[in-house]
């Protein structure tokens, strides 16, 4: 009897292993696909949302825009049509959080370099200082790939309105006037329909990894 069991022991172990794999695959197939929320103004802290949008519960999208990038090229929403993108707000002379944010955005750039569906968009909050030439200098220093990442300058009021009313990224005080200044560490994940799908601390490595993970979930939602 012992010889019989010894003879078939190997086959029993293999069968047990195959059974475990089948059970795991069956269980995994039954799990619902991960989905990201579609953020509406009513879901975000009122401190970060313009008062006119506090109770908006659906249909929020990023507004049309026209700005100028590091190469002096006009950039509009059409350049991001049918693209997923990550947006942020920075300025080239910032000595505190911006260098960390730019480094982390460059890390994201490295991850999406060969992905034609994903781009980056960084808005200067000091457009009077960040001229095209200044942005180009900064882009070269930071390894910006022009085809993937636009650093944009332009009308201050337009940029600040985008930050407050479209990206829901900064406190609502101020109107983009001469003495108005916003400073935010937020990275914002935007889908192909120009909807916000996530907010992340651009200075936190763990949040950057979460953004990259969420990006994969979002990309997969377009192939289902």
Q: Residue 106 in 3-state DSSP?
A: helix
Quick check: 214 and 115 in contact, CB under 8 A? no
Question: Of the segments 17-21, 146-150, 179-183, which one has the largest average pLDDT value?
Answer: 146-150
Q: What pLDDT does residue 81 have?
A: 98
Tens digit of pLDDT for each residue in 11-63?
555 555 555 545 444 444 444 568 999 999 999 988 887 788 888 889 999 99
d(CA 207, CA 212): 9
Does 220 score more than 90 pLDDT? yes
Q: What pLDDT does residue 53 have?
A: 87
Q: Could you tell me the pLDDT band of residue 8, with boundaries at 50, 70 and 90? A: low
Q: Could you tell me the pLDDT band of residue 10, with boundaries at 50, 70 and 90? A: low
Structure tokens at 51: 């008062």
């Amino acid at each position: 009897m012992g010889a019989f069991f010894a003879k078939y022991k190997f086959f029993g172990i293999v069968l047990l292993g195959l059974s475990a794999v089948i059970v795991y695959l069956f269980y995994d197939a039954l799990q619902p696909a991960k989905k990201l929320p579609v953020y509406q103004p009513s879901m975000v802290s009122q401190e970060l949302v313009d008062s006119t949008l506090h109770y908006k519960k659906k249909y929020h999208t990023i507004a049309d825009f026209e700005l100028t990038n590091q190469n002096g090229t006009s950039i509009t929403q059409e350049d991001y049509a049918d693209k997923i993108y990550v947006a942020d707000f920075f300025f080239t002379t910032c000595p505190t959080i911006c260098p960390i944010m730019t480094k982390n955005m460059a890390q994201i750039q490295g991850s999406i370099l060969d992905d034609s569906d994903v781009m980056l968009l960084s808005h200067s909050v000091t457009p009077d200082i960040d001229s095209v030439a200044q942005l180009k200098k900064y882009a070269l220093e930071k390894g910006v790939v022009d085809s993937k990442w636009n650093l944009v300058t332009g009308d201050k009021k337009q940029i600040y309105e985008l930050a407050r009313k479209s990206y829901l990224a900064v406190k609502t005080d101020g109107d983009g006037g001469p003495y108005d200044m916003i400073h935010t560490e937020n990275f914002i994940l935007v889908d192909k329909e120009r909807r916000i799908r996530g907010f992340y601390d651009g200075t936190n490595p763990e949040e950057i990894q979460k953004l990259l993970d969420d990006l994969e979930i979002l990309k997969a939602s377009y192939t289902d």
